[in-house]
Structure 1
Amino acid sequence: VHNITGMGIPAGVTLIVGGGYHGKSTLLKALERGVYPHIPGDGREYVVTLPDAVKIRAEDGRRVEQVDISPFITNLPFGQNTKSFCTDDASGSTSQAANIMEALEAGARLLLVDEDTSATNFMVRDARMQALVHKQFEPITPFLDRVRQLYESLGVSTILVMGGCGDYLDVADTVIMMRNYLPVDITEEARKVAQSLPTRRRQEVSSDFSLKVSRIPLPESFDPSRGKRPIKIDAKALDLILFGTDPIDLRYVEQLVDISQTRAVGYAINLACKKFMDGRTPLPAILDALENYLNEHGLDVLDPFRRGEQHPGNFARPRRFEIAAAINRLRTLRMHQTGVEK
């Protein structure tokens, strides 16, 4: 038994602040990888994160299929529906909104966000911009105005690297400053700064944050065949799956750590499609069933060509979040929604 001392980050909204090159993003990266155990000597053995923490970022150009991004984006020009949002080429803000909603759908309880990989207009709208551009002409409700709702209404915490926008001090429960790669809790000091220097911006939330919409994947939109082979799934790289003839781009799914996981993700999608998708079951229930099945039978069941007691030996267990991320990035994916208010 080892007694461990160190800094625990409580639930809620946490900011990691500090000067450039002092370790803010490095700490967040360690927290991203803290969802996995580390071997002795790795240096991160005691960096432990909730297993259902998900890194969120902007992802220009990704496909989005039937995602309700209305908590963040409404009233788009030309009347585009954001309760059932679809696009083959998402912008920075719409992709980040979709990434959050998909992570919540998959069961995330902690969001990890870095300002460096976020869409600026999605993260904040300051008082001057509010005065210049009236809200009726701005479809985006910034993350700044939703991050507390995520915690208070849904119990979802956020750890956010923020070095350039002090407006987030108003919504933070905990503030950690990185100084020469050492974390220091400066929450009380940050509160005094926030009180002495008010931002004068207006909160732009007009509705509660709720998850009422269910998405049901349609099994006919998954085709693992290639040529004469009914199933051909390849992990071409850590961040690329070839599912039949369809590439799945995972370059911005940042918590995959080994190509064996990527390979397992591809075959897990195939297993889920064949065994649990029926055109009526929502994606979270499919992920639950898949996890339970893998827990009971092990990773060998992912291999559709396994014979007898043979072990494929080239799979590593992926999380449900990376499986969901790959499903959501399959460009042939079709979803049916239930619970949408017309």
Structure 2
Amino acid sequence: HRMQELVSKDKEPITPFIDKVRQLYRDLGVSTILVIGGSGDYFDVADCVICMVEYKPHDLTEQARVIAEKYKAERKPEGGEYFGRITERVPLAHSFDPSKGKREVKISSKGLQSIAFGTHNIDLGAVEQLVDISQTRAIGDAIYYATRYMDGRRRLREIVEAVLSDIEEKGLDVLSPRPVGDYARFRGLELAAAINRLRTLSVRQRP
């Protein structure tokens, strides 16, 4: 509230997340988990408040709502009625080159957190929920498999969904021209994360 008094909205291009968090859930179905301390502003927008007391979690949602009602927030919401439009990306197939030397396709996993895609390395170090190198191996081949759906119109989300649909229908072996026994199932967000980390990736934006 004090900062809003000092800097008016028309002079501040950044919208605080607290003013968009409800719209993010309502409009796009995206939940938010915040680990914070010392900020009671979120009591007004939280569905659930969990407090760690002596290293044990306690549901204090009702107490938080009582406090929020007792101490009314003085700040003015700046997020608008809706979250806003998200511009999605359309991956372009020509930016995916799995060749290396005389081999047209050379893809391999280099440990749990690295994929060699042609002459380029994809670093999955921040994709922390991968647990087995077989997942990494499958993701590497899934990237190449996904290029068949990159027609210049499909969004990244639609491409990932198409790959997962094929896996669901035909099994993981659909990712390889020959049967293999060292693939493990991965999630769509992990495939998307790997594609996003390919340095040669080119996209065009689509509303």
- The alignment status of 1:276 with 2:149, answered yes or no, reads yes
Provide the rounded CA distance (Å) in 2 between the counterparts of 1:213 and 1:328: 15
Match of 2:168 among 276, 295, 299: 295
- Paired AA for residue 160 in structure 1: L
Instruction: Report the CA distance shift for 1:155/1:242 in structure 2 as closer, same or farther (over 3 A).
Output: same
Aligned Cα RMSD in Å? 2.1
DSSP 3-state at the match of 1:204: coil
1:331 equivalent among 195, 199, 207: 199
Cα distance between partner residues in 2 of 1:288 and 1:225: 25
Report the Cα offset of residue 146 of structure 1. 1.0
Letter in 2 for 1:290: V
Kindly tell me: are residues 289 and 247 of structure 1, through their superposed partners in 2, closer, same or farther at Cα, counting changes over 3 Å? Answer: same
> Secondary structure of 1:157's match?
coil
What is the distance in 2 between the residues matched to 1:210 and 1:133? Answer: 23
Taking the aligned partners of 2:130 and 2:85, their CA distance within structure 1 comes to: 26
Q: Separation in 1 of the partners of 2:117 and 2:11?
A: 41
Identical amino acids, percent of aligned pairs? 57
Answer yes or no: is 1:253 the counterpart of 2:127. yes
The CA distance in 2 between the partners of 1:164 and 1:230, in whole Å, is 56
Comparing 277-286 and 202-211, the one that deviates more: 202-211
Deviations 1:189-236 (A, max 9, x none): 111222333442222214622445342211001111122221122222
> 2:28 & 2:36 partners in 1: Cα distance?
23
Give the corresponding residue for 2:49: 175
Q: Which residue of 2 aligns with 1:123?
A: none
Describe the shift of the 1:142–1:331 C-alpha distance in structure 2 as closer, same or farther (beyond 3 A).
farther
Question: Distance in 2 between the 1:257 and 1:271 partners?
Answer: 22
Task: Give the counterpart letter for 2:194 in structure 1.
Answer: A
Match of 1:195 in 2: 69
- Following the alignment from structure 1 to structure 2, what is the Cα–Cα distance between the partners of residues 259 and 143? 36
Unaligned runs of at least 5 residues, structure 1:
1-126
State the match for 2:158 in structure 1. 285
1:151 equivalent to 2:62? Answer no
**Contact 2:141-2:175 within 8 A present in 1 as well:** yes
TM-score when scaled to structure 1?
Answer: 0.55
1:313 aligned residue = 181
* Alpha-carbon offset, residue 297 of structure 1: 1.7
CA distance in 1, matches of 2:54, 2:98: 49
Q: Matches of 1:323 and 1:172 in 2, distance apart?
A: 31
Match of residue 117 from structure 2: 243
Which secondary structure does the structure 1 equivalent of 2:32 belong to? strand
* 1:160 is the counterpart of 2:28: no
In structure 2, what is the Cα distance between the partners aligned to 1:220 and 1:207? Answer: 40
Aligned partners of 1:134, 1:223: CA distance in 2, in Å?
49
- Counting only pairs closer than 5 Å after superposition, residues 2-17 of structure 1 correspond to structure 2 as none
Measured in 1, the distance between the counterparts of 2:102 and 2:81 equals 52
Structure 2: how far apart are the matches of 1:201 and 1:259? 49
CA distance in 2 between counterparts of 1:134 and 1:314 reads 58
Q: Which runs of 5+ in 2 are unaligned?
A: none
Q: In proportion to residue count, which structure has more helix? A: 2
Structure whose alpha-carbon radius of gyration is higher: 2
Taking a change above 3 Å as real, the CA distance of residues 187 and 322 of structure 1, as seen in their structure-2 partners, is same
Q: From the superposition, tell whether residues 158 and 286 of structure 1 become closer, same or farther in structure 2 (CA, over 3 Å).
A: same
Residue type matched to 1:176 in 2? I
Matched letter for residue 315 of structure 1: Y
Structure 2 vs 1, CA of residues 242 and 149 (structure 1 numbering), >3 Å: closer, same or farther? same
Q: Mean alpha-carbon deviation: is it higher for 209-218 or for 139-148?
A: 209-218
> Per-residue displacement from partner, 1:1-39 (whole Å, max 9, x unpaired)?
xxxxxxxxxxxxxxxxxxxxxxxxxxxxxxxxxxxxxxx
| Mapped partners of 1:169, 1:252: distance in 2 | 30
Q: After TM superposition, list the pairs within 5 Å mapping 1:97-116 onto structure 2.
A: none
Q: Distance in 2 between the 1:190 and 1:212 partners? A: 32
